[in-house]
Amino acid sequence: MNHEKNLAENIDELNRQKNIIRQLRIKYDEEYKKTGKHKTYVVKTYGCQMNAHDSEKLQGIMEEIGYHPAEKEQNADFVIYNTCCVRENAEQKVLGNLGSLKPYKEKNPNFKIAICGCMMQEEHILKKIKEKYNHVDIIFGTFNLYKFPELLQTHLETGEMIIDIWNEHQDIVEDLPSIRKDSFKASVNIMYGCNNFCSYCIVPYVRGRERSRLPEEIIAEIKALVQDGVKEIMLLGQNVNSYGKTLENGYTFPSLLEDIAKIKGLERIRFMTSHPKDLSDELIDVMKQYDNICKHLHLPMQSGSTRILKQMNRKYTKEHYLQLVEKIRLAMPDISLTTDIIVGFPGETEEDFKETLDVVEKVKFNGAFTFLYSKRTGTPAATIKNQVSEEIAKKRFNQLLNLLDPLIYENNLKQKEQIVKVLVEESNQQDPTSLTGRSDKNHLVHFKGDPSLIGQIVPVKITEVKTYYLLGEKVNE
């Protein structure tokens, strides 16, 4: 009964926001008739793929209202910053950009600025914006993005700064207009929030507790995307392995993944992010069973030291991580494994760091996102004594890269002379006669080809390998 009630309430809210979009469009069209000039917008995105997906929704709403995209903030009538707070430098960039827009606002009071996303869920940042950046028109957070049409309408009616920050999620409202960057691939949120509370991470505080979307809503959305020509789907969640824990029917992520894999016409499925602590045998079995599930797994390690992992509140040990990798590779020997590694976590000793290097040597990752620890106010790790000095952290960081790069290159050598299927994504930015795409295993591949191939999956023979990409030539099937 709750299931049906929630679904009905979400549909009602969706229809309410769509009705506001229609009202705003009528207002926009009337203005256009008078001026003959289209208003323009820019959505600038910081942070993760979930933020990028949220920005596609904001772009869709803006264009449904009637706005046209502009290339630069200074040329636009409306600027939206979708923010990230995982790293401090992202926050500083946003505040710097906000400050640079103030003169434009003073010259043109009709110039609109909105700011949303994770930064807005931080009390000290919100306070700073209200005090020092009062030229911002609309401020909202991570829980109520779908209410943007209503917030915009309220601002236009009152002329006042509108602030709407929620402390927790209430509804999951999807199906608002969305502008996909690519017609052939799309991201789909399967859940929101996180319950893991890693001690260095601000995400649970700004994105809230885990909430899984209903499977029938997800599957219906993906079927519609496939009918629209989408070949590849990326399933998004802070920890996809926890999907289903907030549902009443015991439906799990492997169940969802299998149901999605059976959708006719869907050629590729990716997902992220997987937490090692609860990656199940069932998930490995489903990945192995279906050809359209990409044989690439992003499995963040963060540290190789069990002591540091405990301090990070990761809930697994070095031994557990290595056993999991062994299990995955036993089932899928050719799988591509990538990871995240943090260097310089508070209290990390030279011995702890050597444990990380040991895991890197044993696993031989196909790729890694490496980060210097960034102290985030409001997280438990920020209060840990014995913070690692910047000098030592940078030295270890370089040492890690010096180990990683040859191992990644060595892995890439296995691809030489192999024929891989590449989803062609764009023309190469350095060489217009070449195309760029990704293989099933998430390798970046460059090869000569005509732009008409963009959006297609084509066979490419790898002729040369580099550390961070592969070179090849298209072959006939």
Mean pLDDT throughout 39-50?
A: 88
Q: Which CATH superfamily is domain 2-164 in?
A: Methylthiotransferase, N-terminal domain (3.40.50.12160)
Indicate where the chain has its CATH 3.40.50.12160 domain(s). 2-164
Q: How far apart are CA 70 and CA 78, in angstroms?
A: 9
CATH architecture type of domain 180-294 = 2-Layer Sandwich (3.30)
Whether the pLDDT of residue 206 is over 80: the answer is no
Average pLDDT over residues 253-267: 97
State pLDDT tens for residues 388-407.
999 999 999 999 999 999 99
Whole-number mean pLDDT of the chain?
A: 89
CATH 2.40.50.140 fits 419-474, yes or no: yes
Decide which of 171 and 230 is more confident: 230
CA neighbor of 118 nearest in space, from 184, 69, 45: 45
Query: Average pLDDT for residues 195-211, to the nearest whole number?
Result: 78
The pLDDT of residue 1 is 44
Question: Predicted confidence band at 92 (pLDDT cuts at 50, 70, 90)?
Answer: confident
User: Which tokens sit at 180?
Assistant: 């996909």
How far is it, in rounded angstroms, from Cα 171 to Cα 387? 40
* 306: preceding bond cis by omega (within 30 degrees): no
Dihedral of CA atoms 440, 444, 449, 450 in degrees, nearest 10, equals: 80
pLDDT tens, residue by residue, 420-434? 999 999 998 888 899
pLDDT category of residue 273 using cuts at 50, 70 and 90: confident
- Assess whether pLDDT exceeds 70 at residue 58: yes
Q: What is the 3-state secondary structure (H, E, C) of 319-360?
A: HHHHHHHHHHHHHCCCCEEEEEEEECCCCCCHHHHHHHHHHH
Whole-model pTM above 0.85? no
Q: What is the pLDDT of residues 108-146, one digit of tens each?
A: 888 999 999 888 888 878 888 888 898 999 998 877 788
24-38, 88-102, 425-439: lowest mean pLDDT where?
A: 88-102
Give per-residue pLDDT as tens, 6-35: 666 667 777 888 888 999 999 999 999 999
Q: Which of 263, 320, 266, 269 is nearest to 297 (CA)?
A: 269
Integer Cα distance of 401 and 383 in angstroms:
28
Multiple choice CATH, 298-414, 3.30.750.200, 1.10.760.10, 3.40.50.1370, 3.40.220.10: 3.30.750.200
d(CA 11, CA 335): 40
